[in-house]
């Protein structure tokens, strides 16, 4: 029986079966996805094969009882396999440097929520996330939130950042989730697509989701006054079905994930890192050497464009931060 994973709590999953019913599912301890070393072998957005307890026979029922789980046959099941993914977004696990953590699978786009302040999102975080989207061929949109809290100087910084990323080819928006004035425009951007919502803790993902749905679908939190950083309020990943202003389903889904404090890239080819920075990749066509790393080689077009300002220093520094990251397991052998 096939279904879509719409919620993950870490210990169990809610799977929406093809007949529209939801079932709580678990995986066996030795279950692993082929070819992916991940701390979460099943992710929200995965299509999975499910064996319901009523269909699995007395052995599965006994395992359920030994695990201390409750539920009658047909309402709790086992995930037996994961269907092939068309894509996914991963980052380096904060628990095990050699392992990845899958944020979501089978998505059409990422809406990366960032803030100039309250808290400030670093360009390194943005660029590492965007590089991963490029690596896995997932469209990315930058949504700058909390415009209502910014000073004139910070609004100028916001305009500079938008101009930078739009010049590279990324779509950007500037909003205030607390005073959402362009809800229709944002819904139109999300309509008919599976969108992963992600960002640092405290950037307002929960507030924005609640504004989009017109009700509280997830808890909001406060910003630490001491460190100007966010605190986790979402503790699990979940998919929400979108509807338009009239309440009609749009066939769109939003995937909400816990806030991220840092974004470690993983499983890159070192010589391909520049490919994930579109403006650096474009400039590299004019480099003297085909294997130029854009660090100290003669005739490097990237270095020349840094001098002329055609490539932003912040982007180049983000490129170097990935290139020079020697964390074990970061690059494919």
Return averaged pLDDT per consecutive 10 residues of the chain, 333 residues in all.
90 89 82 61 92 58 43 67 90 65 92 95 94 93 96 97 98 92 85 92 90 74 47 70 63 84 64 93 94 94 96 96 69 42
- Say what the pLDDT of residue 201 is: 87
Residue 294 backbone dihedrals phi, psi, to 5 degrees = 65, 35
The conformation of residue 30, written as its DSSP 8-state character, comes to T
Which one, of 103, 74, 90, lies nearest residue 1 by Cα? Answer: 74
Identify whether residues 77 and 191 lie together within a single domain.
no
- Say what the pLDDT of residue 62 is: 47
Direct distance between the N- and C-terminal alpha carbons of the chain, in angstroms, rounded to an integer: 37
Distance CA 53, CA 72 (A): 8
Give the domain extent around 281: 270-323
- Say what the pLDDT of residue 96 is: 55
- Say what the pLDDT of residue 188 is: 86
- Say what the pLDDT of residue 73 is: 41
Identify whether residues 163 and 283 lie together within a single domain.
no
- Say what the pLDDT of residue 76 is: 78
What CATH code is carried by the domain that includes residue 184? 3.40.50.300
Question: Per the domain annotation, does 333 fall within a domain?
Answer: no
What CATH code is carried by the domain that includes residue 275? 1.10.40.50
Residue 198: which residues within 8 A CB-CB, separation 6 or more? 89, 103, 110, 111, 112, 113, 129, 205, 257, 260
Helix, strand, or coil here: 320?
helix
Residue 246: which residues within 8 A CB-CB, separation 6 or more? none
Identify whether residues 28 and 125 lie together within a single domain.
no
Give pLDDT tens digits for 288-308: 998 999 998 999 999 999 999
């Amino acid at each position: 029986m096939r279904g879509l994973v719409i919620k993950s709590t870490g210990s169990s999953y809610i799977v929406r079966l093809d007949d529209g019913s939801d079932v709580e599912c678990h995986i066996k301890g030795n279950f692993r996805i082929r070819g992916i070393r991940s701390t979460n072998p099943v992710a929200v957005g995965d299509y999975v094969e499910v064996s319901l307890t009523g269909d699995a026979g007395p052995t599965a029922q006994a395992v359920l009882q030994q695990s201390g789980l409750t539920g009658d046959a047909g309402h709790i099941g086992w995930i037996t396999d994961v269907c092939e993914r068309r894509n996914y977004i991963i980052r380096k696990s904060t628990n095990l440097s050699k392992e990845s953590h899958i944020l979501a699978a089978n998505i059409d786009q990422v809406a990366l929520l960032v803030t100039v302040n309250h808290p400030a999102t670093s360009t390194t975080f943005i660029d590492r996330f965007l590089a991963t989207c490029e690596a896995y061929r997932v469209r990315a949109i930058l949504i700058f939130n909390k415009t209502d809290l910014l000073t004139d100087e910070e609004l100028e910084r916001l305009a500079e950042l938008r101009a930078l990323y739009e010049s590279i080819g990324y779509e950007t928006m500037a909003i205030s989730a607390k005073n959402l004035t362009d809800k229709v425009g944002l819904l139109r951007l999300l309509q008919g697509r599976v969108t992963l919502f992600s960002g640092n803790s405290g950037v307002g993902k929960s507030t924005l989701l609640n504004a989009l749905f017109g009700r509280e679908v997830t808890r909001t939190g406060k910003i630490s006054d001491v460190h100007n950083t966010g605190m986790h309020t979402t503790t699990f990943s979940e998919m929400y079905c979108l509807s338009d202003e009239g309440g009609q389903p749009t066939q769109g889904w939003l995937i909400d994930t816990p806030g991220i404090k840092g974004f470690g890239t993983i499983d890159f080819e070192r010589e391909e890192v520049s490919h994930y920075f579109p403006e650096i990749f474009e400039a590299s066509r004019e480099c003297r050497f085909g294997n130029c790393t854009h660090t100290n080689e003669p005739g490097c077009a990237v270095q020349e464009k840094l001098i002329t300002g055609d490539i932003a220093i912040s982007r180049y520094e983000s490129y170097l931060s990935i290139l020079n990251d020697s964390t074990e397991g970061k690059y494919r052998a």
